[in-house]
Structure 1
Amino acid sequence: MKKIFSILSVLILLISCNNDYYEPLSNENPEISLNIPFGFPELNKSVSSNKPTKYGIELGEKLFQEKRLSADNTISCSSCHIQSNAFADHNAQAIGIQSRVGLRNAPAVQNMMFMKFYNWDGNILQLEKQPLVPIITHEEMGSSILEVIGKIKDDLIYKDLFRKTFGDENVTPERIYKSIAQYEYTLVSANSKYDKIKRGEDEKFAESETQGYVTFQQKCVSCHSTELFTDQSFRNIGFPVNPNTNEAGRGRVTGIPEDYMSFRVPSLRNVEYTAPYGSFGQFPTLRAVLDYFDKGVLNADNLDPVFKQNGNRIPLTEQEKINLISFMKTLSDREFVKK
């Protein structure tokens, strides 16, 4: 009996010495409680069938930062979705492998579990279907999901994480997509100065912020409504048109002329960090956007009524512009962007 015990002890010691690369197998992968901020819209229906789990989130975050998702191992999701930019980009148009320029500006990745549509044109309805798009797009990662799987399937860390998350080491496209989505579902931003004031946890708005909020309610809230600060609709607001002939906005998805050059209304949360603005980065600053609204936007048959019924513009005084920017900065969640 002592001899058997001694042999077992040696085996356990050998196993532990060879386990420096990943954690021991765990059968526990609990669901993570979703922190739903008060007043936020209902969840996307996909969340209920792909609830974030302890190891699913860990796996998803690792994949989000994995450069082997790209053909030349240089670009990850986090290359274009940078936390300090509210998981958006600082380029006018996204830059992929070999400095290829994408069609559009990289949108912010925040509060994804509350969104009804994804991407500027809303061509994705389930977040789990989104990761494949950049992987196979020539201007982004220029790879294929089978190539990605071939690169990571023998990685000891990934083997362990797939086992902990899904019960075995099998790396499949669906598991990759689901885990990335689980991680992105946890990227909730709801702790700005605005939120703290609404919860009675912070000081009051400054005078300029208060006046900006008044102007916002008068001239902006019809599009930037709800606690997401977007009504998630698609609108043509007369921005300068992308010269790329592949662009048609929402019309690329629906084929309906009335949707031509209409884009999803972006959230104003963390807008201070997401410059440049517009579907292909037409405006370098918030002030440039407000000046454009004030001077008058491009006319179009499907121009949004907010503009069309007001001479194709949103008139703003100098002080209103200053105040609006002051208010929009109260939507900055420094904890979220790690600033």
Structure 2
Amino acid sequence: MKKLIRHIAIVLLITSCNNDDSELVSYSNPEVSLNIPSDFPELNSSFYTNIPTEFGVELGKKLFTDVRLSTDNTISCSSCHIQESAFADHNPKGIGIEGRIGLRNAPPVQNMAFMQFYNWDGNKLQLEDQPLVPIITHEEMDSSILEVIGKLETDPSYIELFNKAFEGEGITADGIYNSIAQYEYTLISANSKYDKVKRNEGETFTTSEAQGYAVFQDKCISCHSTELFTDQSFRNIGFPINPDPEEGGRTRITGLVEDYMRFRVPSLRNIEFTAPYGSFGQFATLEDVLNYLDTGVLEADNLDPILKDNNNRIPLSTQEKTDLIAFMKTLSDAEFLGFND
């Protein structure tokens, strides 16, 4: 485990109106100590220019749960990203203000520091660019960053916290984006039963879990590789297609026909608690997902070769499905989900 610790001393010189007196205001804003698993992928490069600090994370968490980010003060980031659901929710598609329905399922917010792409279609490469999207999107918060700043400026506790977090700069758009990203960088899930087995901490797999791990390594690891349990690639795996005419998958970003209905491979960590599954919640249960893959997926010109070369399916016996689900449940991190609080 690597620990990042730094102390930043911020000194502001405030001169009185007559220039005769001065007051020295000093803030200490240390970096937070993060347990970064040595076997996880590389950190996103933006992490190093926005390293989480004590007050930055505190501010980001406060903003994450504040309904004032929405135009009618009814929903916050945490409305759709709920801790016990691995910071996802249980709606097939995200629900914004006034019950407006979004385009896609709200993805979990976990291990963001190690991701190289964000959102189902990978339209963001830096986490700091993400917070504005829900704030201004009609189907989500339908606000503006200027409206949000105007609300926050009436709250003295925010003014103080922004100054402590960002060198006395006051409330700014970048401060909002960077602090929310800092908070999300701290949401590291790496303490599941699977992790404890790997670290030889006294946990052992049951027979079914061990058999499921073997099935996983044989039939799933091509896409769900690395300790994030995703290779972060974009693939069309023949899932039922979102009827929304705005949907195009990765092609909405690249403009390439071959990217039509390709989506970022989701992580399997905490998958037990992130139902429904698929880019717009096509499947209610893990059993539904495995049954669909077993019986055959939709044909597509750009269907992933793993499926296309195997008659559009991943064959799984009933026992293999049972064991595979048992293994996937070992990826649940009770501490991260807040179950030990």
Relative to the length of structure 1, the TM-score reads 0.92
Q: Distance in 1 between matches of 2:248 and 2:34?
A: 36
Instruction: Point out the structure with the larger strand share.
Output: 2
Q: Give per-residue Cα distances to partners, 1:147-192, cap 9 Å, x unaligned.
A: 0000011201101101111122521111100000000000000000
Matched residue type, 2:102: G
Alpha carbons 2:250, 2:261 under 8 Å: kept: yes
Q: What is the 5 A alignment of 1:262-273? A: 262-273=262-273
Q: Deviations over 1:108-138 (max 9, x none)?
A: 0000000000000000000000000000000
User: Higher Cα Rg: structure 1 or 2?
Assistant: 1
**Larger CA deviation: 308-317 vs 198-207:** 198-207
Write out the 4+ residue segments of structure 1 that deviate beyond 3 Å after TM superposition: none
- Structure 1 position 100 matched with structure 2 position 96: no
Letter in 2 for 1:52: P
2:239 is paired with a residue whose SS is: coil
Where do 1:1-339 residues align within 5 Å? 27-168=27-168, 170-339=170-339
Unmatched 5+ stretches in structure 1: 1-24
SS of 1:289's partner is helix
Task: Please state how far the C-alpha of 1:56 moved relative to its aligned partner.
Answer: 0.2
Q: 1:202 offset after TM fit, Å?
A: 2.8
Unaligned runs of 5+ in 2: 1-24
Paired residues of 2:194 and 2:331 also in contact (CA < 8 A): yes
Native 8 Å contact 2:163 2:171 kept in 1: no
Identity across aligned pairs (percent)?
A: 70
Q: Distance in 2 between matches of 1:66 and 1:248?
A: 32
1:12 maps to what in 2? Answer: none
**Structure 2 CA distance, aligned partners of 1:229 and 1:26?**
44
Could you tell which deviates more after superposition, 124-133 or 148-157? Answer: 148-157
Specify the SS of the correspondent of 1:27.
Answer: strand
* Count of aligned pairs: 315
Q: 1:32: how far off?
A: 1.5
Per the normalisation by structure 2, the TM-score is 0.91
- Superposition CA RMSD, Å: 0.8
More helix by share: 1
| Cα separation, 1, equivalents of 2:38 and 2:194 | 13
Amino acid at match of 1:253: I
8 Å contact kept, 1:219–1:314: yes
